[in-house]
Amino acid sequence: AQSVTQLDSQVPVFEEAPVELRCNYSSSVSVYLFWYVQYPNQGLQLLLKYLSGSTLVESINGFEAEFNKSQTSFHLRKPSVHISDTAEYFCAVSARGTGGFKTIFGAGTRLFVKA
Amino acid sequence: EPEVTQTPSHQVTQMGQEVILRCVPISNHLYFYWYRQILGQKVEFLVSFYNNEISEKSEIFDDQFSVERPDGSNFTLKIRSTKLEDSAMYFCASTGWRTVNEKLFFGSGTQLSVL
């Protein structure tokens, strides 16, 4: 079975500062890794994903994440955050189990960007 | 981009009553899921559904829960006798054969409040 740990429940940061949201996973099989974002009063949206190939993946709005197999991590980073990045961020792991593919989410990290 | 549609957006019910949460997945998708998010907590997997049967279910998905795809377009979650602790945001998700490894498409959720 797979599991996901997000080490920070809340991350306050000033606008234009860099940020890192940490995610570690465990799994006995190969996994696919995702970051989803949830803006206030909205559903979950895919931010970026790692399936295979380059371990550094990027989103269209400046976020990036690096898959580190040896450390079983998939930390999310942005060099300069905006007020509009304030949201809940969920790391997720998808793997094939006995019943097919299942996606498991971490507890979430609330990013709060201050002016 | 095509969307997963969930209705209603909010549902208020009395404890012990039956509720049906409705979802219209993306039309050519084959894999369907229900997740829930209790306020302030993580997104939890409830059940996955493929080929008209449950693929996998979590410990949360007990005998009070059932899912159905009655007409080839809707995907419903029924809670037979609601409890206070069933109050949560319920998310429906779907994905297709080509994207099963890549992402889940989430609806905007149904906020269920059990009084």
pLDDT tens per residue across span A101-114: 788 899 999 999 99
Confidence at B96, pLDDT banded by 50, 70, 90: confident
Three-state SS at A34: strand
pLDDT for A98:
66
Who among B55, B103, B107 is closest to A43 (CB)? B107
**What is the tens place of the pLDDT at every residue in B20-56?**
999 999 988 889 999 999 987 889 999 999 888 998 8
Whether residue A99 has pLDDT greater than 70: no
How far is it, in rounded angstroms, from Cα A92 to Cα B24? 23
Q: Is the peptide bond before B8 cis (omega within 30 degrees of 0)?
A: yes
Residue A99: which of B55, B107, B108 has the nearest Cβ? B55
The answer, for A89 touching chain B at a CB cutoff of 8 Å, is no
Torsion of CA A111, B2, B4, B9, to 10 degrees: 70
Of these ranges, A34-43, A48-57, A76-85, B98-107, the one predicted with the greatest mean pLDDT is A76-85
pLDDT tens per residue across span A11-69 = 999 999 999 999 999 887 778 899 999 988 778 888 998 887 888 888 888 999 999 98
pLDDT at A106: 92
Q: Could you give phi then psi for residue B8, rounded to 5 degrees?
A: -75, 175
> How many CB atoms neighbour CB B68 within 10 A?
13
pLDDT at A87 over 70: yes
Specify whether the backbone of B46 is left (phi greater than 0), alpha (psi in -120 to 50) or beta: alpha
CB contact (8 A) between residue A45 and residue B33: no
